[in-house]
Each structure stands twice: as structure tokens, then as C-alpha cells.
Chain A
Amino acid sequence: MNKDLLYRIDWITLIIYFLLVLFGMINIYSISYENIELSIYDINNSIGKQFWFFIFCLLIGIPIIFLKPSFFDKISFLTYIVCIVLLAGLFVFGSTIKGITAWYKFGPISMQPSEFAKIAVALIISSYLSFIQNDIKNYKTILKIVIITIVPLILILLQPDLGTAIIFIAIIFVLIREGLSINFFLSGIYGIILFLTTLIINPLNTSLILSFGFIILIFFLRNKTKKLKTNIYILTLLISVIYCFSVNYIFNEVFEQRHRDRISIIIGKEVDPQGIGYNINQSKIAIGSGGFLGKGFLNGTQTKGKFVPEQDTDFIFTTISEEWGFLGSASVILLFNFMILRIIYRAEKHSKKFNRIFSYCFASFLGFHFIINIGMTIGLIPTIGIPLPYISYGGSNLLTFSIFLMIYLNLDANRLN
């Protein structure tokens, strides 16, 4: 054991971690509170469970800090295989909750392997990309990474757990950082914008607007550069128009009704505060009624009345906003921002590729969770059922992101070794 390690640990990130977990427990307490004081040691209520989950996370996590950093690279393949086996095993031994077969049950405790798949994928990608011979600009490398990622992803989609699967899109940020063309990111954004525009307007008008835009763009660029590859632009336009006309088909045939509903509510195509819009409407009421300072701890009327479903897990941000107001909700956003930016900043300082890529994976997963979760509670993103890391109630997610953090701390502290 190295005594210097304690000095080299990124204490600031660790403290933010403790703050977020503590704040999460405060809000879980408020949600489960029903005018009777609760014991945080009592395993029979949510707050007690979350407390013991946290203790368990520390028991698992602290030893990780003291492992040899090279250990993670070595076990990455093994972890990946174990993860695939666990995901596949769900179809035999898994138990189903709300239509999703994602859990192994051991008495009162259940475990969600799709959460741990995030660590496994992060480890294997870090390991694979840090191998000197693998150049990301090479299509073979990209193909291999896609295969590595897609195997667990398909197993997760088969559960079917679209929400958790969507998180794996976060990998794209890692790949771009490591040299993948930024066009992948831009065309992704372009695709989403086009998709929503087509749904809101209609394919024909969207195509016309698009064509008009492209013509102006081509003329504009022609005056500037002589060697313009007009063909590429026309090809892009053609693909875009075909895409536009297939949007309705994708929307109606590929998506399920609940997905369609969630999208329709967000883009304002349907208003139904009692039916399909109930969750998002109640979520906005709870958040909006918090005001600047909030209603105070244990005083949230929406929280007490249990108007918002899944409030201790996916919608915990509504309690924070209701009871702690804009002050509380903005603080959570700022804390997450600070933490993620700090991880990115320190990741860039790594000389070892594995360390950098893994830290980057951590930042990407954390950021993606944060953005999707909060975006859905405040009504900007269609409802996607994923928890808010460190804050939401739930053992598997807390353990996953705790392990992520501990590995990050280990690598960060040992950057010179």
C-alpha cells in the first residue's frame, strides 16, 4: 500500500461524489417520509436500503483505489465476457419487472447486469483502442468497436430496455475524441433535427425547405471556393429527402406506441395531462411549483401526494426542484457540470492512452445519464427511464457509477506510475 496515494487522490471529485449521494439520500428520505420518522438503518424502507447500498459501494469501491492500475487493462476482456454471460443468462434466470427482464434476484436484493455492462464496455473499448496497432481512422477498427458494443446492446434491447441501451450512444464522444470524424456526431444531430421537423411539419414541406436551403448553400459556397464537390451536397440532399419520407414509417412501424406517445407529448403534437401526458405534466408541476427557494425539506406537496410516478428513481429531480427550488436544482446541474468537466480535464492530462480513454468513457456515460434524465423531467426530452447517477434510489446504478469513479480515481492518482 502506498501512503502517498492519499495525497494524490482527486479529493475534489470524491467530495462532489459524497455530496451528490448525500443529497440524493436526503431526497429519498423526503419521498418515503409519511409523517413518521424513518430510520436510515432500517432495510425495510427505501432510505435504509439506499444507505446500506452506499456502504456496500464503499466496501467494494475503496479497495479498487488501491489496486494496481495495470490490473484494469488486464481484466477488461474477462469482465466483458462475464458481462455478456450475465446479460445472456437473464433470459433464463432473470426476473421481469414492468415488462423488462433485466434483474437477477437474490432474496431481497436484485441486480441489474445492464448497468455493469457500461463498465465492461468502457474497459474493453479503452483496452482495445489503447492497443498501439488499432487506428480509429481505419474502418476495420471502427467495425470491431461497433461489434464490441453492439453485442451487449442487442442483449439489452431484447430485455427490452431501450432506455439503458440509448446510454451507449455516449461512446460516440469517446470515439470522436480518439480521432473519429466529427461528422458522425454532426450527422447524428442533423438526423434528430430532421426527424423532429418532419414529424412536426410534414415530409413534403420539410424536403422543400431542405432543398431550398441546400441550393442557397451551394451557390454561396461556389462563390467562395472554386473546387466545390457539388455531387456530395446533392447526394446528402437526396439521402435527406429519402430519410424525410421514411420518418413517418419509422415513427409508426419501428417505434412502439408508448415511444410514439412520449415523442408526441414533447413536440406538442398531443396534449393529454390525464393520460399519456400525465407523468410529464405532474413532473413539470412539481418542478415549477418549487419557485426560487423551494417548499422546504419534507414540505413538497406534490412529493407528499405522490403525484409524480417513479419519483425516487427516474424522477427524483422533481423532488429536488420542488423542495429545494431553483437554488437546489441549479446547484445539482452545476455540481454535475463541474464534476464532468473536471474528469475530462484530468483525463486529458493522462499520458497513458488506456487511462485517458477510460476516464473519458466515465465522463461520457455520466454526462449522458445526467442530460437525458434531467431533460426528461423538465419536459425537453421524451421520457426515457434512466436514473440520475448518485442521486436516484437504486443499488445497481449507484454501484456502477461508484466503481466507475473509483477506477477513475485510481488511474488519476497513479498517472505517474
Chain B
Amino acid sequence: MIKKEYLLAIFIISISLIYLFQLFNLQIFNDDYQLLSESNAIYKKTIYPERGLIYDRNNKLIVANQPSYDLMLIPENLEAFDTLEICSILKIDSNLLLKKINEAKSFSIKLPSIILRQITKEQNALFQEKIWKYPGFFIQKKSLRDYKISIASNLLGYISEVNENEINDQSYYNIGELIGRQGIEKSYEKILRGKKAVKYFQKDRFNRIIGPYKNGIYDTDVEIPKNITLTIDSELQNYGEKLMQNKRGGIVAIEPDSGEVLALITAPSYDSNLLIGRDRSKNFKTLLNDTINKPLFDRGLQAEYSPGSPFKTLIALIGLQENIINNNTKFKCDEGHYYAPGAFMACHNKKGTYNNLLSAIYNSCNTFFAKTYKNIIDSKESPFEGMNMWNSHLKSFGLGDYLGYDLNIGRPGFIPDGNYYNFWYPQKNWGSVTTISNSIGQGEILTTPIQMANFTSAIANRGYYIKPHFVKIKSKKIHDSLYPKKMTSIDPEFFEPVIEGMHKVIEEGTGKIAKIPGLEVCGKTGTAENFIKLNGIKTQLTDHSIFIAFAPKKNPKIALAVFVENGYWGSRWAAPIASLMIEKYMFSTTKRKWLENRMFNGSLEFEYQKPLTNKSFKINE
């Protein structure tokens, strides 16, 4: 039995041991209390700097900010209030309000929750007057985008609340914050966003702020965001978007000697203003679910088309460089030619035509370029080597790969090489004849409009291009180190005859409609066959209308590529659009109003409806 003298001592010691154990448990073993203490006693206030503004190349403001107000609630401070009045001010249903309040309570009693997003300025003003009647409620000001001109939605992108993955991947973001989602807003997120400031305050038990927490040693300062100047010319961009109304396709215009993108147009697009305000998510869903028009798909950067006839200019350049052809080479065309026994490739040149390089380009003679291509591939010991040589020339124009511009969407396109055909023809029984469609920009080749504009720019520069980019770098030194000249594998002297041919296209060839008085324009039309799978059957649709051009011929200022899906002849849609774009850019005004109106009002909707009707239809009307 316990000795009575020791009872008190044993009692004190044993209870003290239990207490020490409990203290160890509370203070060291269990972290929960630390977190509870922080949410209890520390108020974290985040200060967001206003997002950077976006200007066009002429310093015209495109994207600014506008204030937005969210109704917030700290449930702990809530007292009985006049539900009817608050509902009538904010124009919401009282059941919805009560539901939101309950959700806020179950989220946290001490932390603020959003009750209603983006109330209007008027509602905010009305509510601010009466806010003293509603303890617990307060208004939080946020900043939304304000689009001064609604253009280039796909290029600018948009901002929206971060999702869970982004919160987990990037420690900077917290729930409810905004992040750039596409285009410039996404690629230049860090510059446009700056850095938020966080201030910590000590709260008391009534949830009142009583001073800075630990004299502010954990506070951080705001880093002011920078504004961005685009290389885009907003006038030209706007004009191009109008020209592309009711059509599908893309336009990319580049300033050749700097690589600056002057316009990036995709059609159909959407209005940036749809993605701000309270209906944002509803509108976004509509855009996302529109699989027919695909308004969120940037055709200028992402659509991969067969390049069609403009590709012939590159075949000519490779032929000249490899000494396969020269300025005097002539091939005979009889409305086409037999490129192999029993295999005929048609051409629209008359029977018995002899085309040299110049006339072949401006008459767009299939025969001439098929023969040139054949000789290029066959000039090496095997078609495999010939194909690889051909491929590496094209790669030097930035084809078949991502160009590496400063937006994070795009497609590589496709330029086949020897290995590719070896894979599809395991017996290696392929050759120039098997792949003859490549000569006229059909076959396996795929390019995006920006790649087309880029190689046009390389031709305009007589042998080099500069990586296209969308944000203007004001210092020439930094610009040149960031965007050095990329030389093509073609010597500069070979460009002149091709450029002369492209000039003749406008003067007396297939692209006469693109002629602009007082300006030497060079261009090349294209009409590319295209197919879709309709109910599992490969179905041909009306050809794409394509045009590449640059101007002026000497010292070019603009190079561009225009794709109009199912527009048939290149000269029907793409060439007039390209021509008007050049005129607009070079002279700021356009004189050919009749052409302009035809483009503004012309619609290809009937073409796009054809495959949707489930009836048989005619193409190339």
C-alpha cells in the first residue's frame, strides 16, 4: 500500500506527468492549433496591382482595366438584417441569398466568402450607402479587363479565375485569383500581372484589426506590372477582321525586316467582352461548345492546310539553288503531262505551251513544277537522299516545325522526309513519281498561315527571315539579339527571278485582281484541294482560296498569307483580301470601295452549310 507520507507527493508528480504529456501533445505533436491560431488571430490582406495595359504598335490603347465589385460576407459578424431590402438592391432571389449565406457559413465562420460576384456600379453605390445596416457584409473591389476596341480576341486571350491545378502547380496563386488564359494574357502573364502584396494584421476576438502582425515583418510589397506594346496594327487588324466576316480562315501579316506581326486574324472569332462580367462562364461554354465554327480555334496559328500553288515558289528556289533549273529552263505543257506511264497531272495551261521559270510562276503551271520537283528528288543517288535534301531546304524556311514565336499555341505543320516515306513504303519502292503531289503544294505537306506568311517574308527579304513575334521590343539592340536573322539555305541571287515571277502574277498572271496602282506588289495565288470525312466517307469540299503576297517589291514593308476556307480560286477571295490589306497598310485608306464592299459583304456560309445538310452537293461552283 502507498505510504501515507508520500501520498501528496505521488499525487502531484503523477498528475504533473499527465499534464506534461498533454502539453507535449498540444504544443509539439499536434500542428492543428498552430493553424487554428493563424486563422483566428491573423488577417491576411492581399493587395493586387492593376494588370498591365496592352497597346498596339501605334500606342493606341487596346486593353485597359475596369473596377468590379464582389459582395463578400464574414459569417461570424452577421446579424439579423432586412433580407428584402438587400435582395431588391442587388436584384437577387432571397432563397439564393440564404443559400449563399449558408454555403459561406459552412466554408468558414471567420473567413470571407463571395456572396455575389460582379455587382454593377449602381448596385455598389446603393449598397455602400446602407452597408452599416448589414454587419458582416462588405464589398471587395476587383479589377476586370476593359476592351477599348474589340479586336484580336484570340491573340489577346482572356483572364479568368485560377483552377485547382494551377493553384497546386504554382505557389503564387490562391483561390479566386485571376490568371491569363490564352494568347498575350497567358504568354506575358508575369509581366502583365506584376506581383501582389500581402499584408498581415493582428485581429482581436471580435475579428477587429488591432494593428500590423509582428510589425509587418512578413509583409511583401507590390511589384507594379508593366504595360505591353504589341506589334499589331490595330487599324489593319480591325480591317482584316471585317474582310473575313462570314468566312472561315486566317490572315497573317508580317513586317519582313523585323519579323513583327502586323495582323493576326482568325475567322470566325468572338467578342472579347463576352469573357468579362457575370455571364463569363456561360458565354465561354457557348464558345467552347461551338464545334462547327470553332471560335476559340486560332486559324492563323493552328490551322494546318495544304499550301497549294504558293508552294511552287519554294520548289523554284530549291531547283535554282540545286542547279536543276535556271532562268532559261523550259518545259512543255499539254493541259498537263504524264509524269509516269498512265499517270496524268492536269494543268490549266493550253496545249503546247512552253513555260520558262517566269511564265511558269505567273501562269501557275503544274507541269513545270512537277518536272522540277521530279528532277530535284532524282538528282541524288536515291530518292531517300533527294527527299531529305528537299526537306532540309524547306526546313530552313521555318516549315514543318513550330516557329517559336512568343505565343504558346500553334502547330508544326508537316514536311515529309525520306524516313517518312520509308515508313509508309516498307519495300522502299517509292520515288519522285509517288510523291509528285508535293510539287504543287498538295500531298503530305501541311502549313499554317503564319508559316506561309513567314516564308513569304523570307522571299521578300531575299534569303532570310526573322522569327515572327507579337510584342514590340523598343530597343533595336535587344530586338536584334532576341530575334536574329535566320538565313535560308537558298542564296540571295536566286530570289530575284522568283520575285520577278511573283510580280508578274499580279501584273499579268492569276492574281491580277490584287494589283494596286502605284505599288509594286508580288504575290502568288493558290487553290488547294481539301477533303473531310463525312459519315466515314472521304468527301472533297470546295477548294481553299489562298494567296501570299508582299509589297513593295523593293524594300518590302509587309508580307502576308491569306487563307479562305472553301473559297475556291485564290483570285476569288484570298487575293482581293490580301490586296486590300496591303493597300490599307501602305496608304491607310483604300480606293477600291467596290472590291472592299464585295469582300465585306461576301459570305461563304452556303459553302459551310453544304456538308451539314446530309444531301449530296456540288463543289467548286
When distances are taken between beta carbons in the complex, the residues of chain B under 8 Å from A336 are: 16
Cβ-neighbour of A305 out of B34, B36, B205 (below 8 A): B205
A340 to B13, CA, bound (A): 10
B228 to chain A, nearest CB (A): 42
A164 to chain B, nearest CB (A): 20
The verdict on A284 contacting B8 (CB below 8 Å), with A302-B37, A306-B205 known, is no
When distances are taken between beta carbons in the complex, the residues of chain B under 8 Å from A364 are: 8
Cβ-neighbour of B210 out of A299, A305, A375 (below 8 A): A305
A177 to B30, CA, bound (A): 40
Is the beta-carbon distance between B19 and A378 smaller than 8 angstroms?
yes
A76 to B411, CA, bound (A): 100
Is the beta-carbon distance between A302 and B34 smaller than 8 angstroms?
no
Interface residue? B18 (CB, 8 A):
yes
Is the beta-carbon distance between B36 and A367 smaller than 8 angstroms?
no
Interface residue? B15 (CB, 8 A):
yes
> Which chain B residues (28-74) contact chain A, with CB distance < 8 Å?
28, 30, 32-34, 36-38, 40-42
The verdict on A274 contacting B109 (CB below 8 Å), with A176-B4, A367-B12 known, is yes
The verdict on A288 contacting B33 (CB below 8 Å), with A305-B205, A326-B28 known, is yes
Interface residue? B7 (CB, 8 A):
yes
The verdict on A287 contacting B15 (CB below 8 Å), with A305-B40, A305-B210, A360-B8 known, is no
The verdict on A292 contacting B28 (CB below 8 Å), with A305-B202, A305-B204 known, is yes
Cβ-neighbour of A325 out of B27, B33, B37 (below 8 A): B27
Q: Nearest residue in B to A290 (C-beta to C-beta)?
A: B27
When distances are taken between beta carbons in the complex, the residues of chain A under 8 Å from B19 are: 333, 371, 374-375, 378, 380
A288 to B25, CA, bound (A): 8
When distances are taken between beta carbons in the complex, the residues of chain A under 8 Å from B109 are: 274
A307 to B210, CA, bound (A): 13
Cβ-neighbour of B36 out of A179, A289, A329, A363 (below 8 A): A289
A379 to B41, CA, bound (A): 21
When distances are taken between beta carbons in the complex, the residues of chain B under 8 Å from A371 are: 12, 15-16, 19
Cβ-neighbour of B33 out of A182, A285, A340 (below 8 A): A285
Interface residue? B9 (CB, 8 A):
yes
Chain B interface residue count, CB cutoff 8 Å, equals 40
Interface residue? A173 (CB, 8 A):
yes
Cβ-neighbour of A340 out of B12, B24, B27 (below 8 A): B12
A363 to B40, CA, bound (A): 39
Is the beta-carbon distance between A341 and B23 smaller than 8 angstroms?
no
When distances are taken between beta carbons in the complex, the residues of chain B under 8 Å from A185 are: 7
A367 to chain B, nearest CB (A): 5
Interface residue? A337 (CB, 8 A):
yes
Interface residue? A237 (CB, 8 A):
no
Chain A 330-353: CB-based contact to B (< 8 A → 1; otherwise 0) = 100110110011001000100000
Q: Nearest residue in A to B212 (C-beta to C-beta)?
A: A35
Interface residue? A301 (CB, 8 A):
yes
A379 to B24, CA, bound (A): 13
Q: Nearest residue in B to A278 (C-beta to C-beta)?
A: B205
Cβ-neighbour of B27 out of A179, A302, A321, A375 (below 8 A): A321
A304 to B211, CA, bound (A): 10
A363 to B6, CA, bound (A): 12
Is the beta-carbon distance between B23 and A287 smaller than 8 angstroms?
yes
Is the beta-carbon distance between B33 and A284 smaller than 8 angstroms?
yes
A34 to B208, CA, bound (A): 14
Cβ-neighbour of A375 out of B4, B15, B28 (below 8 A): B15
Q: Nearest residue in A to B34 (C-beta to C-beta)?
A: A289
B490 to chain A, nearest CB (A): 71
The verdict on A380 contacting B22 (CB below 8 Å), with A285-B37, A307-B205 known, is yes
The verdict on A301 contacting B202 (CB below 8 Å), with A337-B12, A337-B16 known, is yes
Cβ-neighbour of B41 out of A304, A334, A367 (below 8 A): A304
Interface residue? A385 (CB, 8 A):
no
When distances are taken between beta carbons in the complex, the residues of chain A under 8 Å from B2 are: 182
The verdict on A291 contacting B9 (CB below 8 Å), with A305-B203, A307-B41, A337-B16 known, is no
Q: Nearest residue in A to B211 (C-beta to C-beta)?
A: A35
Is the beta-carbon distance between A326 and B12 smaller than 8 angstroms?
no
Chain B 567-592: CB-based contact to A (< 8 A → 1; otherwise 0) = 00000000000000000000000000
Is the beta-carbon distance between B15 and A378 smaller than 8 angstroms?
no
A129 to chain B, nearest CB (A): 14
Interface residue? A286 (CB, 8 A):
yes
Is the beta-carbon distance between B34 and A177 smaller than 8 angstroms?
no
When distances are taken between beta carbons in the complex, the residues of chain B under 8 Å from A374 are: 19
When distances are taken between beta carbons in the complex, the residues of chain A under 8 Å from B210 are: 34, 304-305
When distances are taken between beta carbons in the complex, the residues of chain A under 8 Å from B40 are: 282, 285, 301-302, 305, 307
Cβ-neighbour of B23 out of A274, A344, A378 (below 8 A): A378
A285 to B38, CA, bound (A): 10
Chain B 186-208: CB-based contact to A (< 8 A → 1; otherwise 0) = 00000000000000001111000
Is the beta-carbon distance between B15 and A329 smaller than 8 angstroms?
no
Is the beta-carbon distance between A341 and B27 smaller than 8 angstroms?
no
Q: Nearest residue in B to A294 (C-beta to C-beta)?
A: B27
A172 to chain B, nearest CB (A): 9
A39 to B219, CA, bound (A): 30
Cβ-neighbour of A330 out of B5, B11, B18, B23 (below 8 A): B23
Is the beta-carbon distance between A173 and B27 smaller than 8 angstroms?
no
The verdict on A289 contacting B37 (CB below 8 Å), with A284-B26, A360-B8 known, is yes
Is the beta-carbon distance between A289 and B42 smaller than 8 angstroms?
no
Interface residue? B125 (CB, 8 A):
no
The verdict on A286 contacting B37 (CB below 8 Å), with A301-B202, A305-B210, A307-B205 known, is yes
A307 to B16, CA, bound (A): 26
When distances are taken between beta carbons in the complex, the residues of chain B under 8 Å from A274 are: 109
Is the beta-carbon distance between B11 and A306 smaller than 8 angstroms?
no
A308 to chain B, nearest CB (A): 8
When distances are taken between beta carbons in the complex, the residues of chain B under 8 Å from A289 are: 33-34, 36-38
Interface residue? B1 (CB, 8 A):
yes
Is the beta-carbon distance between B36 and A285 smaller than 8 angstroms?
yes
Q: Nearest residue in B to A186 (C-beta to C-beta)?
A: B2
> Which chain A residues (349-396) contact chain B, with CB distance < 8 Å?
360, 363-364, 367, 370-371, 374-375, 378-380
The verdict on A287 contacting B4 (CB below 8 Å), with A307-B205, A375-B15 known, is no
A38 to B24, CA, bound (A): 33
A182 to B4, CA, bound (A): 7
A292 to B27, CA, bound (A): 6
Is the beta-carbon distance between B9 and A341 smaller than 8 angstroms?
yes
A312 to chain B, nearest CB (A): 15
Is the beta-carbon distance between A378 and B26 smaller than 8 angstroms?
yes
Interface residue? B20 (CB, 8 A):
yes
Cβ-neighbour of A287 out of B16, B27, B205 (below 8 A): B27
With A302-B37, A307-B205, A371-B16 given, can you name 15 additional A-B contacts, CB distance below 8 Å?
A185-B7, A286-B37, A289-B37, A302-B40, A304-B202, A304-B210, A305-B205, A326-B24, A333-B20, A333-B23, A336-B16, A340-B9, A360-B8, A371-B12, A375-B15
Q: Could you show 26 A-B contacts with beta carbons less than 8 Å apart?
A: A173-B11, A176-B7, A182-B2, A182-B7, A285-B37, A287-B27, A289-B36, A290-B27, A291-B34, A299-B214, A301-B42, A304-B210, A305-B40, A305-B204, A306-B204, A321-B23, A326-B23, A326-B24, A330-B20, A333-B19, A341-B13, A367-B8, A367-B12, A371-B15, A378-B19, A378-B26
Nearest 5 CB-CB pairs, A to B? Answer: A288-B33, A289-B37, A301-B41, A288-B26, A305-B204
